[in-house]
Amino acid sequence: MQESTEKTTPVANFQSLGLSDDLLQGLDSMNIRVPTPIQQQAIPAVLDGRDLIACAQTGTGKTAAFLLPLIDVITSYRPKVDGSIRALIVVPTRELALQIDQQMQAIAYFTPITSIPLYGGSDGNTFDAQKQALTSGVEVVIATPGKLLSHLNLGYVPLQGLEFLVMDEADRMMDMGFVDDIRKIITFLPKERQSLMFSATMPSTIRELTKQILHDPFEITIALSKPAAGVDQQAYVIFDMQKAGILEHILNTNEATSIVIFAGRKIEVKNLARHLQKRGFNAAGMHSDLEQTERESVMLDFRNRKLRVLVATDVVSRGIDIDDIDLVINYDVPRDPEDYVHRVGRTARAAKKGAAVTFVNEKQMREFGRIEALIGYEVKKMPLPDGMPRGPMYDPKARVAGGSNGNGHRKGGGRGRSGGGRH
């Protein structure tokens, strides 16, 4: 396996990567002129016919890193097998499927290539429309595993001329329990194909899967980025009962017009969105129980600044590309330190300023300490609003036992200093 790192000599523009004029025109119309490190490395490898495994997080330009060479090859070099799908992109969520399809339409605007996203939650009419598209010659399919298998099992999906298999956010698909679905999908595909895998992390399950799917892959590793310098990171060390009050204080005093609140579970997203709506805030939740039309409507309102506050799980941190978020609030500490980077990375994009606030309770101090170790510095601890009882004392090495926070302080707050100091 040939390996590459991000220590790549920068190239001046996309022309030097050998892409076609039609694609270069599409990139120019989007004002995209300088390839990112992963694009510099991946595009030549894919154009050279190599299988690829890339470890890179959201925000590194990985979607264009596989879309650009894939589109280039399909439209310029290889003869088409009549009626067959030529590229299959498998993703963990419907949001990511839609996002990739939208990006593909933009990049490939000046090419004749066709694509369709497939995802769950559709009615019978939508399923029939998907079947019609699959059997009438669509070239690129972007699909979630379950919905793709629903069509594959019915036997009409034309894959005889498939050239590319792309698996995006492979680690998230494993976390969501799709490993068996992925293995089943592979059984439907021709063995002679070019396979590309992208993953933010590379656990042993992913390594095992690469051995089954990829052949002598070219490997790229783009190190996990630290939060952008433009992010003002803050943390409130508090008890759970204080969260709602501090959240309302932030929403009332912060001038941010585009805010994402991340919560760990779907039920928490629902309850928090409902609470904020009752308190008069312009807020909505994004979760899997919404119909697809409802989800799309919420995201459209948020993108257009008609909705100020979006409450969501981590599906938004990795699966949605929104550049103008002013404030990210972690209602709880992410279990995986890398998810913190993904969440915080939703703000201060494209050299802009932004803020990220995290609520840390007495049980999550060790987890937040791991986050600080990963990013290499301590996040600023904020004083609580005037009149609010003090929270627990911050200790990233604390272990919670019984009714204490690991330092002998009782949960009532009492006289201990808050994580942000005295008022």
Tens of each residue's pLDDT in the chain, 423 residues: 555 544 444 556 888 898 988 888 888 888 788 898 899 999 999 999 999 999 876 667 889 999 999 999 998 876 677 789 999 999 998 888 988 998 899 899 889 999 999 987 656 788 888 999 999 889 999 999 999 999 999 999 999 999 999 999 898 888 788 999 999 999 999 999 999 999 877 777 888 888 889 999 999 988 766 777 778 999 999 999 999 999 999 999 999 999 999 998 889 999 999 999 999 999 999 877 777 788 888 888 998 899 999 998 866 555 555 667 889 999 999 877 777 887 887 775 554 678 999 999 999 999 999 899 888 899 999 999 988 888 898 888 765 444 333 333 333 333 333 344 333
DSSP state of 241: G
Q: What are the distances in angstroms from CA 313 to CA 87, 263, 320, 331?
A: 30, 5, 11, 10
- The structure tokens 């799709």 sit at 178
Q: Name which CATH class applies to 2-221.
A: alpha beta
Calculated CA dihedral for residues 300, 303, 307, 310, nearest 10 degrees = 100
**CB count in 10 Å sphere of residue 180:** 10
CATH topology of domain 231-381: Rossmann fold (3.40.50)
Q: How far apart, in Å, do the first and last CA atoms of the chain sit?
A: 57
Domain spans of the chain, in order of start = 2-221, 231-381
pLDDT digit string (tens) for 277-313?
Answer: 999 999 999 877 777 788 888 888 998 899 999 998 8
Task: Kindly state the helix (H) or strand (E) to which residue 164 belongs, with its residue range.
Answer: strand 164-167
pLDDT at residue 407 in the model: 36
Q: Which residues contact 298 (CB under 8 A, 6 or more apart)?
A: 284, 285, 286, 290, 307, 310
DSSP assignment letter at 52? E
